Amino acid sequence: MNLLLAVCALSSGATLHPAYDLTAAALRSEAKRSFQDPRRVRGLGQSQEIELPIFPTDSAKVTLRITYYRPREWASVVGARVGSAGGRTERDLEAVLGRTLRRIDHKAVVFDLQAKLPLPEEDNWSLPSLRYELLNEDGFSVDGSAPTLALPSPRDLLGTEYHCELAFPFPYEPSNPPFLTSRMQKITLRVTVDDRIVNLVFQI
């Protein structure tokens, strides 16, 4: 089911989930605190892993780690990453926060993707195609904005790590029922790996 059907089906009295009902000022404050003390982010987020086969090698796999952060947690993680980079200033943090806060302020569910390597020694290899979809508790969905997981050659990546964000923006108007309501307790990230479907459930 799509988001338009979800808007029609939800109760007109539904309110936005409090985890997503935050101001940019509150998120910026959270990021600055973690920028000054990156240790604050230890233990944040909920992570699950999927093993992806590598073709044509039968035995080798890439482990895709998917972490869900609530908006306040994600702002903290962004601040900590900038603060841990070394030599960064609060001006650098503001530049990074511009993009992050626009996503969160426009109501987006954000995941962090990491692919742990090593990779097989063969030069010619490929990963399965991936598709991401976010479902709320009522079974309505929005598609993710991240492309299919695509990695450079094994020679370039050996001993390194793939890293990207996966965002699910959802339209929100105070006069309309939101995609994530205050009564909802979980979301499901549906990952389609070729023809195989994996449902990952996270608590909001």
Query: Does the pLDDT value for residue 5 go beyond 50?
Result: no
Query: Does the pLDDT value for residue 192 go beyond 60?
Result: yes
- Report pLDDT digits (tens) over 36-94: 899 999 999 999 999 888 777 666 778 889 999 999 998 899 889 888 877 778 787 87
- Residue located via tokens 């959802």: 170
- Report pLDDT digits (tens) over 117-161: 655 565 666 778 888 899 999 998 887 655 455 554 444 444 556
**Which of the two residues, 176 and 22, has the higher pLDDT score?**
22
- Report pLDDT digits (tens) over 18-32: 999 988 888 889 989
Q: 112 φ, ψ to 5°? A: -110, 125
Given this model, what pLDDT does residue 10 score? 44
> What is the DSSP track for 62-98?
EEEEEEEE-HHHHHHHHHHHHHHTSS--HHHHHHHHH
Query: Does the pLDDT value for residue 103 go beyond 70?
Result: no
Q: Name the strands in the sheet holding 196-203, side by side, starting at the edge strand that comes first in the sequence.
A: 141-143, 130-135, 186-193, 196-203
Q: Do 157 and 116 form a contact (C-beta atoms < 8 A)?
A: no
Q: Do 75 and 27 form a contact (C-beta atoms < 8 A)?
A: yes
Given this model, what pLDDT does residue 185 score? 96
CA dihedral 58, 127, 134, 17 (to 10 degrees): 100
- Residue located via tokens 């050996």: 158
**130 by DSSP, 3-state: which?**
strand
- CA-angle at 123, arms to 116 and 53, nearest 5°: 45
Region at 151 (left for phi over 0; alpha for psi -120 to 50; beta for the rest): beta
What b/e string do you get for 51-89 counting C-beta neighbours within 10 Å, with b at 16 or more? ebbbeeeeebbbebebbbbbbbbbbbbbbbbbbeeeeee
